[in-house]
Structure 1
């Protein structure tokens, strides 16, 4: 039986809410023999109900999911679906890694989530082309905000490297630098 650490931020964790979290999130334990302490953080921020789940599994594997909706119970359900999709998507790699046991591949057979075929390729439905102009980070952030995008690709005017600036959920900005 897995142990749970359920914490709340701007929300009181009622016994019924804790029970629902343990019941729903506990579903992911059926795929593995040894699961560590499952960490669940429930947050209410600006009317959004955010659920963050971290599930450590033997062998150093970490499953993590986050969902945000206007309803806490819906967020919990969606994050469980997300974790199960992760398991299905990586089932071959997981089975290989747990060759000596620990991963219950048979649990995947009873699940209703459609699985991706091994030889199936990812389908690209749209391609966009654009010129990556040289600019500094501050100019790239300004351009991103003017375009009302969450990220912006630019060429650093000093290093000529292609980088990405992005808007973080906390309102700050991040930079992804290309490197060798």
Structure 2
């Protein structure tokens, strides 16, 4: 990790430089090398400003903090930059594909499929409980026509099993019959 520290309107101090380098180097645990960091420490009247620009793996992070003490400004800056790096890492963590999805993508590509797009693993975001009212298939079709929904879950009176009736894109209906 390459860190450069610049002092503006303040006497250069080895202790301050070492402190800034130590605090900024905390991001090493979140990103892979090579990392370039440039820290600027400035004093303007009573304001102590710490700014940093960090480049790692083609990504850039910037931060600036201002307090009445240079050490606390560096602490706040390190926390800000580390939060940005963690947020960016979390953002891209969900986009990594697993081996099974890579195998599916490879199989689809081998079959000549033009569209191979696997962004991230699917998650259950919402759970909804539905009452499966007992009815005939004709009654379910009529109920689905009257509703704005795309599907209807019901208990088929003839088979006594849970069925799902859904609206197809071509205007017809599809039926899913469950078996125990």
TM-score (norm 2): 0.50
Q: How does 1:87-98 map to 2 (within 5 A)?
A: 87-95=85-93
Q: Among 62, 68, 79, which residue is 1:64 paired with?
A: 62
For 2:70 and 2:10, the matched residues in 1 are separated by 10
For 1:80 and 1:72, the matched residues in 2 are separated by 12
For 2:16 and 2:124, the matched residues in 1 are separated by 41
Gaps of 5+ in 1: 100-117, 121-180
- TM-superposed deviation, 1:98: 7.8
Per the alignment, residue 136 of structure 2 pairs with: none
- TM-superposed deviation, 1:119: 10
- TM-superposed deviation, 1:97: 7.0
Q: How does 1:127-166 map to 2 (within 5 A)?
A: none
Per the alignment, residue 10 of structure 1 pairs with: 9
For 1:80 and 1:86, the matched residues in 2 are separated by 10
RMSD over equivalenced CA pairs, Å: 2.5
- Map Cα deviations across residues 89-110 of structure 1 (whole Å, 9 max, x no partner): 23332336788xxxxxxxxxxx
Q: How does 1:36-115 map to 2 (within 5 A)?
A: 36-58=35-57, 60-95=58-93
Gaps of 5+ in 2: 98-122, 126-180
TM-score (norm 1): 0.50
Greater Cα radius of gyration, structure 1 or 2: 2
For 2:92 and 2:124, the matched residues in 1 are separated by 17
Distance change >3 Å, CA 86–CA 31, structure 1 → 2:
same
For 1:37 and 1:74, the matched residues in 2 are separated by 22
Distance change >3 Å, CA 89–CA 51, structure 1 → 2:
same
* SS state at 2:83 partner: helix
Distance change >3 Å, CA 37–CA 87, structure 1 → 2:
closer
Q: Please tell me whether the aligned partners of residues 29 and 35 of structure 1 are also in contact (alpha carbons under 8 angstroms).
A: no
Q: Please tell me whether the aligned partners of residues 51 and 72 of structure 1 are also in contact (alpha carbons under 8 angstroms).
A: yes
For 1:57 and 1:80, the matched residues in 2 are separated by 15
The alignment of Structure 1 onto Structure 2 pairs a total of residues equal to 100
Q: Please tell me whether the aligned partners of residues 30 and 86 of structure 2 are also in contact (alpha carbons under 8 angstroms).
A: no
For 1:23 and 1:66, the matched residues in 2 are separated by 17
